[in-house]
């Protein structure tokens, strides 16, 4: 990344039309069209990235994060259409509010400015990053993992072609192609050139960006999430919720890593998990705390079953497994479960399964995370699923935005005061000129 690229991004942000301009709708449409047109080239570049990753010995789960298919194109095209449908409402000025008998105030949306996204090896994030921030007038710098370098090279060309078609500055999207950590450190020291930092990935990546930079951060990712199963729970529901919270997307940030279960129902809950895994032939590894007796004879009859049992270790607490693994940890009750969440959770998504309404209410009152789910899957924490709108990521921070980072979260506002000649003459007075 050179100073020239930073200068280009800033110049593009300043030259771009304000949010709500028809050019952004044209850009969304052009991005979908150009992505479709160039998808064979994107897949070819992606195949090179995947082949190199296989040579390096990446796990099958991580390879799946890298790999693109036609299904991804369908999803990205739907995303562009959804963003287009949301733009009018998101970018509309607020209604005027009378101020005394002399004026009107209203909020007018403004871009955040230059947004720097740091993420890992998910090529779909490159498209999302080139779409959502830009659709509301921001310039974006995109730094993905080196594992998707060839894919990102083609995606950068796609974004630039779409920007040209919409008559927008091509500097609104810059895909960084230098994996050198020294360059990343240098960028994190540039609050003069970058307005907002969005790290998306592991807790270590987020912690590094927070500690190494004074740029305001929208922290996204870090999904060390828990599902607490109370003794009153419907254990079949608890088992289904646990598996649905993990298996469809084992590496996603809103998946469950650990189930905390009241110790008196722990063995029965594990048995319910095994039954549920077998019903859907869903492959899962359960890491059981040694205090939970492995079910018999099931533990001796695992051959041909979709599940596998292993021992939960101390180092498993507070970690993301990044595969189809769920930990099972016994607790004495709600208080111990909440203490565990406070110590090991990342503030992303926490859930409780209980038929006792008082327990569920107490859990939501005392647990602290961007989303708290009662009697359901943790994967419900998702902007479109919750009908909050398209999302770039899910924020675990407390300032500006917490939860889904939607189009509206990528805007700030100016307060416009229509004073109609009013002056403020004294400390508490306003008078008409």
DSSP strands (E only) in 9-113: 97-99, 103-111
Cis amide bond preceding 297, omega within 30: yes
- Examine residue 426 and state whether it is found in any structural domain, yes or no: no
Range of the domain at 412: 3-219+397-417
DSSP string, 233-300: S-HHHHHHHHHHTTTTSTTSTTSEEEEEEEGGGHHHHHHHHHHHHHHTT--EEEEE-TTSPPPTTGGG
Q: Same domain, yes or no, for 344 and 263?
A: yes
- Percentages helix, strand, coil for the chain, rounded to the nearest 5? 45, 20, 35
Quick one: 41 and 82 in the same domain?
yes
Residue 426, pLDDT above cutoff 90? no
**Claim to verify: residue 212 and residue 249 sit in the same structural domain:** no
Residue 328 has pLDDT above 70, yes or no: yes
141 and 177 co-located in one domain: yes
Q: What is the pLDDT of residue 90?
A: 96
Give per-residue pLDDT as tens, 47-101: 999 999 999 998 888 898 899 999 999 999 999 999 999 999 999 998 999 999 9
What is the Cα–Cα distance from 348 to 227, expressed in whole angstroms? 12
Domain-embedded: residue 425: no
327 and 409 inside one domain: no
At residue 298, the pLDDT reads 57
Is the same domain home to 213 and 333?
no
* DSSP secondary structure, 54-79, as one string: HHTT--HHHHHHH---HHHHHHHHHH
Q: What is the pLDDT of residue 433?
A: 61
Phi and psi, residue 55, nearest 5°: -65, -30
More confident residue, 62 or 228: 228
Regarding beta strands 391-395 and 403-406, do their DSSP bridges make them parallel or antiparallel, or are they unpaired?
A: antiparallel
Indicate if 129 and 90 belong to the same structural domain: yes
Radius of gyration of the chain, Cα coordinates, nearest whole angstrom: 24
Same domain, 126 and 165: yes
pLDDT band at 278; cut points 50, 70, 90: very high
Same domain, residue pair 66 and 109: yes
Q: Give the CATH number for residue 285.
A: 3.40.309.10
Domain count, the chain: 2
Residue for token digits 């959502």? 132
- Percent of the chain residues topping a pLDDT of 90: 81
Q: Do 214 and 320 have their domain in common? A: no
- Cβ atoms of 274 and 296 within 8 Å: the answer is no
Does 387 reside within a domain? no
Instruction: Flag whether 391 is in a domain.
Output: no
Interacting residues of 292 by C-beta distance below 8 A, sequence separation 6+:
263, 266, 267, 270, 328, 330
Do residues 46 and 19 both lie within one domain?
yes
């Amino acid at each position: 990344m050179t100073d020239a690229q930073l200068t280009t991004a800033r110049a593009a942000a300043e030259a771009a039309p304000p949010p709500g301009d028809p050019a952004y709708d044209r850009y969304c449409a052009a991005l979908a069209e150009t992505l479709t047109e160039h998808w064979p080239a994107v897949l070819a570049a992606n195949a090179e990235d995947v082949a190199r990753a296989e040579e390096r010995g990446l796990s099958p789960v991580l390879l799946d994060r890298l790999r693109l298919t036609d299904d991804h194109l369908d999803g990205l095209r739907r995303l562009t259409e959804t963003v287009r449908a949301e733009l009018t409402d998101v970018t509309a000025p607020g209604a005027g509010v009378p101020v005394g008998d002399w004026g009107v105030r209203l909020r007018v949306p403004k871009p955040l400015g230059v947004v720097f996204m740091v993420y890992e090896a998910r090529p779909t994030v490159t498209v999302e990053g080139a779409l959502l921030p830009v659709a509301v007038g921001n310039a974006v710098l995109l730094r993905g993992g080196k594992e998707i370098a060839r894919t990102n090279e083609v995606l950068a060309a796609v974004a630039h072609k779409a920007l040209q078609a919409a008559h927008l500055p091509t500097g609104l999207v810059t895909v960084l192609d230098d994996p050198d950590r020294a360059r990343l450190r240098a960028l994190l020291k540039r609050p003069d050139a970058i307005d907002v930092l969005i790290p998306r990935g592991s807790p270590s990546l987020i912690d590094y960006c927070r500690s190494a930079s004074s740029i305001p951060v929208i922290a996204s990712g870090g999904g060390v999430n828990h599902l607490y199963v109370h003794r009153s729970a419907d254990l079949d529901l608890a088992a289904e919720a646990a598996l649905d919270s993990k298996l469809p997307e084992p590496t996603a940030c809103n998946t469950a890593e650990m189930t905390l279960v009241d110790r008196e129902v722990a063995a029965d809950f594990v048995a319910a998990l095994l039954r549920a895994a077998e019903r859907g032939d869903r492959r899962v590894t359960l890491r059981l705390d040694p205090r939970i007796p492995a079910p018999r004879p099931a533990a001796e009859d695992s051959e041909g079953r979709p599940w596998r049992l292993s021992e939960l270790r101390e180092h498993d607490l507070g970690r993301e497994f990044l595969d189809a693994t769920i930990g099972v940890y016994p607790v004495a009750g709600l208080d111990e479960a909440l203490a565990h969440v406070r110590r090991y959770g990342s503030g992303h998504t926490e859930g409780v399964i209980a038929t006792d309404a008082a327990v569920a209410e107490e859990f939501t009152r005392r647990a602290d995370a961007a989303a708290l789910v009662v009697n359901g899957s943790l994967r419900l924490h998702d902007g479109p699923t919750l009908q909050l709108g398209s999302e770039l990521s899910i924020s675990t921070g407390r300032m500006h935005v917490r939860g889904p980072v939607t189009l509206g979260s990528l805007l700030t506002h100016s307060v416009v005061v229509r004073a109609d000649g009013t002056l403020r003459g004294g400390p508490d007075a306003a008078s008409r000129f």
